[in-house]
Amino acid sequence: MSLPLLAVLVNYSCKRVDIYFPTDSISNFVEKPVVVEALKTRALPEGSCDKLLEFLRLYRDAVQMIVDRIWSINKRLSWKKLHRLFYSDLVRHGLRAHHAKEIYVYANSLVDSARSNSGRKPVLRKLSARIDKYDYRLDLDSMTLILKLHSDYEVKLRLITSRKRIEKFKGWSNYELAVKYEDGEFWVSVYFRRTIKPLKPRTVMAIDLNFDNVTIALFTFNGRLIRLKRFKTPHRKILTHRVWVERIQRRYPRSWRFIKGVRKAIERHGKKIKNISWDYSHKIGNLIAILALKYQSVIILEDLEELKENNKKSREFNKKLGLWFYRRIQFCIEYEARERNLEVVKINPRGTSSKCPRCGSKLIENENRVLMCRKCGFTGDRDVIATINLYRKYVSKYSRCGAPGVAPNAPKPDESPSGMQGNRDEAMKNTSSCMNSYES
């Protein structure tokens, strides 16, 4: 059995992010790039809602029971073991086969994350359940949903949302949903996915993010630079709000949490930061994807996960803001690109802003963001060099189009001249379904 895939789902339009662990049933999708999106909507049961509430209580108590038991076992359990230990017990309580599986997998993931975070045993209060595709029938045309509950009960729900929102998901497949009861209302989140057939790229767009700028460079596969664009980031604005928050917290080091006015002031700055960062990310993501579609580009991003603690760029990010804003920008770029069937590839950024694109030696900072190579005399703007290096790395790793492209101003690729390491499938794997994680 394969490991569950961690996907971050986003209800993009209203900026909500849900983290969700699909089960092994979708492992065959990991190979292909896929867009996953949740449709969250209120749902109204037809007739009495007693059975649905009864089911949600049963489900919650069952999860809690399994959590308690896994907690007392105090060691990692394989899925096989989980099944052996808990399956028949759950089914005896009137739960269906797939309910049972969802429950022990979910309980196990709760215990796992509690152990690695707080160390306290999870206690469930909310009424919510995850339901596998075998246990519901969704009809988008009539906007109704039938849930199969415990002991062969069924409940029919009407989805309370606009046709327009539903329309988008026709032709997508859905594989799981979550139903919850909150403040007297039922809500469902249906998880949809769509496999992307990426357009065959004709050009390569390399993107470098740094504190002040987003630099976009567009290359042909044979190494000609055709467009170069630079956008300012709102980092300094965000930083100003951060400084304010820190100043307030320093002034009231012990009490800021408890004084309403102070807390409100901090929240106001937090909200500003959130708005500025999302607005910017949406805009830049959209802009980049439009440009990439026009030139039919594959988009090359830096793999932020590869930034190690001792890396210069990582230090720069963390000192000033943390990586979350870069992740958010990347997330929006990826999202908008996938919407347009464009391929996105992440490349390890190690050395991209410090090595000479012509000879590979270490560059030295000349003046004001201009880097120079002592060995071969190459000079260039730091951000542009980063994009050239990203392009070079991509081409030597993935390109199949004969000889690897030669970067502008950098005639001979010095190392690993083969453009045939890696193949198309590997490139796909890299761009497959895990959307970027983020921190709010």
By CB under 5 A, name the binding residues for Zn ion: 356, 358-359, 361, 373, 375-376, 378
Q: Which helix (H) or strand (E) holds 293?
A: helix 260-294
Q: Which residues have C-beta within 8 Å of that of residue 323, sequence separation ≥ 6?
A: 304, 307, 314, 317
Q: Which CB, 375 or 429, lies closer to Zn ion?
A: 375
Considering only CA atoms, which of 99, 258, 235 is closest in space to residue 179? Answer: 99
What's 135's DSSP letter? G
**Minimum distance, C-beta of residue 366 to Zn ion, in the bound complex (Å):** 13
**How far is C-alpha 338 from the geometric centre of its chain's CA atoms?**
12
Minimum distance from residue 378 beta carbon to Zn ion (Å): 4
State which residue, 201 or 223, has the beta carbon closest to Zn ion. 223
Looking at the Cβ atoms of 103 and 373, the one nearer to Zn ion is 373
In the complex, minimum distance from the CB of residue 351 to Zn ion, in angstroms, rounded to a whole number: 13
Distance between CA atoms of residues 30 and 47, nearest Å = 40
Q: What angle do CA 48, 49, 51 make, to 5 degrees?
A: 105
How many H-runs (helices) and E-runs (strands) does the chain carry?
Answer: 10, 17
Helix residue spans in 29-187 (DSSP H): 50-73, 79-92, 97-116, 163-167
**d(C-alpha 273, C-alpha 328), whole Å:** 12
Q: Which is nearer to Zn ion, 374 or 400 (CB)?
A: 374
Question: If 0-12 CB within 10 Å is exposed, 13-18 middle and 19+ buried, where does residue 183 land?
Answer: exposed
Q: Which is nearer to Zn ion, 70 or 407 (CB)?
A: 407
Nearer to Zn ion, 293 or 359 (CB): 359
State both tokens at 202. 């004709």
Length of the chain equals: 440
CB of 363 to Zn ion, least distance (A): 7
**Min. distance of Cβ 360 from Zn ion in angstroms?**
7
Q: How far is CA 257 from its chain centroid?
A: 31
Of 294 and 375, the one with the shorter C-beta distance to Zn ion is 375
Dihedral in degrees, nearest 10, Cα atoms 328, 332, 335, 341: -140
CB of 375 to Zn ion, least distance (A): 5
- Residue 412 beta carbon to Zn ion: minimum distance, rounded to whole angstroms: 11
CB of 391 to Zn ion, least distance (A): 16
Long-range contacts of 162-171, Cβ-Cβ distance < 8 Å, separation of 24 or more: 165/39, 165/41, 166/39, 166/140, 169/37, 169/39, 169/140, 170/140
For Zn ion, the closer of residues 17 and 385 by Cβ is: 385
- Nearer to Zn ion (CB atom), residue 315 or residue 375: 375
Q: How far is the CB of 361 from Zn ion (least distance, A)?
A: 5
Q: What angle do CA 286, 407, 227 make, to 5 degrees?
A: 35
